[in-house]
Amino acid sequence: MPRLSAWFIRSAMAYLALGFTFGALLLANKGLPLDPALWRLLPVHIEFVLVGWTMQLIYGIAFWILPRWRSWRGNETPVWAAFWLLNIGIWLVALSQSLGWDPIWLVAGRLAEIASAVAFTANAWPRTKPPGA
Ligand code: HEM
């Protein structure tokens, strides 16, 4: 497995563990009210499982299995950019909603996530082709 895929997939699993833990806390808090402030974890739970887990797993597997030129997987620089932009975006979206920051940080986080998809596509697009093309 390429190093980049390992970073994406390990990171995805960390978000899954955190996302499920926060989900379990939210669920427990519904049956046995512990602290109303725990509801602040809801946007973090949603962002971690929907974007942190699923998107990073997709990026990690796609970078690994898309067609190569012999053993070369294309320019890795935009894919590293995609990794950091996605992770910065996830934390900005999660923290800005959870802690009630100015909505500009939510917009900044979403823009970082969109930029991450564009950067990932720069590598994946030319690799998406039938055999021999
Ligand atoms: C990949 C798996 C999961 C995904 C994609 C997911 C996604 C979501 C989403 C989108 C919401 C917001 C729903 C809404 O506002 O209507 C939510 C809420 C919630 N999730 Fe998850 N979740 C996942 C796993 C879990 C797990 C494993 C637990 C518990 C152990 C959990 C506990 C909760 C709770 C308690 C809420 C709040 C429900 C409420 O509004 O009363 N989630 N989840």
- pLDDT for 76-109, tens place per residue? 999 999 999 999 999 999 999 999 999 999 999 9
* Model confidence at 133: pLDDT above 80: no
Q: What global pTM score does this model have?
A: 0.94
Ligand 1: atom nearest CA of 27 is 35
Q: Which of 26, 41, 55, 93 to mutate to test the pocket of ligand 1 (most atoms within 8 A of CB)?
A: 26
> Token pair 């509801």 is at which residue?
39
How many residues belong to the chain?
133
Report the percent of the chain where pLDDT is more than 90.
96
Q: What is the residue-wise DSSP string for the chain?
A: --HHHHHHHHHHHHHHHHHHHHHHHHHHHHHS---GGGGGHHHHHHHIIIIIIHHHHHHHHHHHHS--BTTB----HHHHHHHHHHHHHHHHHHHHHHTT--HHHHHHHHHHHHHHHHHHHHHHHHH---TT-
Q: What is the pLDDT of residue 38?
A: 96
- pLDDT for 36-46, tens place per residue? 999 999 999 99
The answer, yes or no, to whether any atom of ligand 1 lies below 6 A from the CB of 28, is no
Q: Which of 46, 55, 57, 97 to mutate to test the pocket of ligand 1 (most atoms within 8 A of CB)?
A: 46
